[in-house]
Structure 1
Amino acid sequence: MGSDFRKIVELTDVKAEDLMSIFERASDMAQLWRERRMPQSLAGRRIALVVNETGWRNTTAFDLGIQAMGGICVQPPLRWDAHEDLHDLTAYLGNWFDAIVTRAPQLSILRSVADSFDGPVINARTRQNHPCETLGDLAFYYHKHRTIDGIKVAVISPKSNILGSWVEAAAVLPIEVVQIYPAKWHDQKSAEAVSRFSCSSDIKAIEGSNIVITDCWPEGADPAELMGYQVTDKMLDGLPDDVEFFPCPPVYRGKEVSAEAMRHAACRVIEAKAFLMHAQNAAMEWVFGEG
């Protein structure tokens, strides 16, 4: 393995100019995918996809994307929180694999995996962050608008892994991110640390947003406390004409979004999630020093 490989555990691991190059390359990847002429930039690369958790979109996209770019993808049935020592596990994987794409229950575990593995590591999700999901959404926005400078992102969500990576994005990129939710679910610590991230309990803080993100209601929450934060078609009507609405799957109509909002012209979640794979493919090239 060469010394020019990189790792993506948090978006703050990547410089702004490199994130922008990933978005640009994701646009190229989208075209190449449609034309069925994917670059074989992972030819000869062997990637371990270590996933023993629920969810399927971004891990399926990794598996398919790696194969489409000529790589070999294998899913070892191991868990990082099992009885074997983590450093032993990464050493065993290092015997056979050039890179690891993985989920872990805790960000600290995934960071330890990245620190101990001598090769690229990409975070496919933890309970604290989900960098690929945010990469995909921003890549789609950039593909459509050709810029992200100065955009406002409203994340209508409790403190969650989705919000976590939008905070990371705000720490690196020239975007403003606001969390809109009842105060007891605010990520106040991040608001104090990241100047382009803020929290609000006022749904009117959505005004002027270029991107609207939602996440699932907290388990056991009182619906009466959260209905005022449900994204509706009327709410979307009051936003800029070019607003992009990306409710985070899984989407629960009648809870965080209304059924009408899912049919609104601003709702482009299907198109945005197509870019999940294109952005991940671009990231795979980047971590191997190809970009």
Structure 2
Amino acid sequence: MARHLLALADFSGAELAALVDRALKLKRDSKDGVRNRDLEGRTVALVFEKPSTRTRVSFETAMYGLGGQVIYLSSRDTQLARNEPLKDMARVMSRYVDCLVIRTFGQEIVDELARYSQVPVINALTDLHHPCQILSDLMTVIEHKGALDKLKIAWVGDGNNMANSWIQAAARLGFALTLACPDGYEPDRDILTAARAEAARPINLVRDPVEAVAEADVINTDVWASMGQEDEQLLRLKAFRPYQVNDRLLRGAAPDAVVLHCLPAHRDEEISEAVLEGPRSVVWDQAENKMHIHKAILAEFIG
């Protein structure tokens, strides 16, 4: 039976840590000029209803770097746009490729594809979860800050799919997490409740971003209006204005705190130009690490 990556809560802390460790090793190998061919002769299909420059290029580069082949399918190229039953698509694609990487809207789409697929289904983003991105973020945090279970991490902004996956990561990996979200823009309630029930350290939800970043080792944010929310742009700009990650907000964080943003960034909206380009920003390492964590995921689930 194929193993799937649909949400971080489906894995133990040890399993998530092992994926990150594998990515760190693959990154070291790459820097040393070691060529890994673990997936030679294998093929992955990238099925993207939501387009993405970084996710597409990092997955394609990762698969090619492991010796494999890639087929990219946008929504207009697949039956997702033509109302073919997902179970039919999953069973047919399973006979063509060795893995399906899906970037879409509803979590129910990846869940149903996984239910009928005979090959691994990887969630490259849904409106509910963004597990691959958080794994690359965790990799970046470990590189810059060390052991996760000693850290306090802050999330500032929308309680979106990124926030949901950060919550699940905190429950599994034991770091303290505080999220600051405006009223009406909180993370998924069921995900938060389940994570708090098993977490070793606090997972807090507050309104005040200053409270969230107090003594934080890592500060993370994302765009205020995600893909598909463009009609809410003006309303969200007003609600989120006090949640900008800027130099004033960072005064309360730990002196050596680092700042994450998964990109693309709207400069001087959710994050100031000065912080994004400043010495605390590790966003370029974070962007590179998407490729290395995608290598680890593909090698683990296909191999």
TM-score with structure 2 setting the length? 0.88
Aligned mates of 2:274, 2:187 — CA distance in 1: 29
Q: Which residue does 2:180 correspond to in 1? A: 180
Amino acid in structure 1 at the alignment position of 2:50: E
Gaps of 5+ in 2: 197-201, 226-232
- Deviation track 1:19-60 (CA, whole Å, cap 9, x = no partner) reads 111111111111222233231111121111111322221221
Aligned match of 1:23: 20
Aligned with residue 203 of structure 2, among 185, 197, 217: 197
Q: What pairs up with 1:81-100 in 2 under 5 angstroms?
A: 81-100=81-100
CA distance in 1, matches of 2:192, 2:85: 35
- Within 2, Cα distance between the matches of 1:28 and 1:209? 28
Give 1:226 deviation, angstroms. Answer: 2.7
Q: Write the deviation string for residues 218-241 of structure 1: whole angstroms up to 9, x where unpaired.
A: 423264543321111232243223
Contact 1:128 1:160 in 2 (8 A): yes
2:292 corresponds to: 278
Mark the CA change 1:98 to 1:225 in structure 2 (over 3 Å): closer, same or farther: closer
1:122-144 superposed Cα distances (whole Å, 9 cap, x missing partner): 11111111111111010111233
Structure 1, unmatched stretches of 5+, are: none
- Aligned twin of 1:266: 280
Q: Look up the match of 1:68.
A: 65
Following TM superposition, by how much is the alpha carbon of 1:7 offset from its aligned partner in structure 2, in angstroms? 1.1
Point out the more displaced range, 131-140 or 226-235.
226-235
The 3-state SS of whatever aligns with 1:149 is: helix
Q: Does 1:248 align with 2:262?
A: yes
Matched residue count: 286
Q: Secondary structure at the match of 1:240?
A: coil
1:16 offset after TM fit, Å? 0.9
Give the letter aligned to residue 168 of structure 1: Q
1:210-229 equivalences in 2 (<5 Å): 210-218=217-225, 219-221=233-235, 223-229=237-243
Identify the match of residue 214 of structure 2 among 199, 207, 213: 207
In the TM superposition, residue 207 of structure 1 has moved relative to its aligned partner by 0.7
The SS at the match of 1:75 is strand
- The residue that corresponds to 2:135 in the other structure is 135
SS of the residue 1:183 aligns to = coil
1:110-121 equivalence runs, <5 A: 110-121=110-121
C-alpha RMSD over aligned residues: 1.8
1: distance between equivalents of 2:149 and 2:214? Answer: 18
Shift in Å, 1:146: 3.5
Asked if structure 2 preserves the Cα contact closer than 8 Å seen for 1:159 and 1:186, the reply is: yes
Q: Secondary structure of the residue that 2:91 maps to in structure 1?
A: helix
1-side partners of 2:164 and 2:82: how far apart? 26
AA matched with 1:206:
V
The 5-angstrom pairing of residues 1-12 of structure 1 reads 3=1, 5-12=2-9
Aligned partners of 1:80 and 1:109 also within 8 Å: no
> Structure 1, residues 114-161: CA drift from partner, whole Å, max 9, x if none?
111012111111111111111101011123334111322211122212
- Separation of aligned partners in 1, 2:154 and 2:82: 38
In the other structure, the counterpart of 1:35 is 32
Partner of 2:229: none
Q: Is the 8 A contact 2:224 2:236 kept in 1?
A: no
Q: Is the 8 A contact 2:107 2:127 kept in 1?
A: yes
Equivalent residue letter for 2:195: V
Which residue matches 2:228? none
* Aligned partners of 1:80 and 1:104 also within 8 Å: no
How far does residue 263 in structure 1 lie from its aligned partner after superposition?
2.4
Q: Which runs of 4+ in 1 moved over 6 A?
A: none
Alpha-carbon contact 1:9-1:111 (below 8 Å) kept: yes
